[in-house]
Amino acid sequence: MGCIGAKEIESAISAWVERIAAEGAERLAVIGLMSHGDLLAKRLVAGLKERGIDALYGAIDISLYRDDLDMRAEKLPLRSSYLPFSTDGLHVILVDDVLYTGRTIRAALNALFEYGRPARVELQTLAYREGREVPICADYTCFHLEPEAGKEVQVRLHEVDGEDKIEF
């Protein structure tokens, strides 16, 4: 079993912020996918602010856009998306914790485009693992994980889980 600890995650997120800052994009919005992607997006926006860069923060719940609603045994309570702005003309960085099959991102893109027409959308994730089922790839990712077949990747973030940790 693999494990990435809090220190590694912290420095990875700092490097992530540096990368976004270096790109120098204007009219930036960092939009996270619930849950966990939204927490990472919040950290990125805070990190950018420390560097004097203003980015809009948003969070979306993609449950209503999933393609597996019929197959899911349990339906979790929906959460309210937080996107108090039109995405028209914005440079959107879509943030999630793990990119795996790509289906969540497919749903997220559908959800996102109902809030406007962004000038550009990038996908950036904390981690990714092989196993794509749709033609989607990340523009930036901090950790490339290679878990054993059938193993789950679990991302824990201190805001909700009490600690920063990736187990795979």
| 35: contact with other proteins by CB under 8 A | no
The token pair at 18 is 């540096």
Among 61, 96, 97, 164, binds other proteins (CB under 8 A): 61
Residues 75-94 that bind other proteins (CB under 8 A): 75-81, 86
Q: How far apart are the first and last CA of the chain?
A: 6
CB 147 within 8 A of CB 2: yes
Cα–Cα distance measured from residue 70 to residue 87, given in angstroms and rounded to the nearest whole number? 30
Site for other proteins contains 115 (CB under 8 A): yes
Smaller CB separation from other proteins, 64 or 137: 64
The residue among 163, 167, 143 whose CA lies nearest residue 155 is 167
Q: Does 64 bind other proteins (CB under 8 A)?
A: yes
> Where on the chain is the footprint of other proteins (CB under 8 A)?
61, 63-66, 69-70, 73-81, 86, 110, 114-116
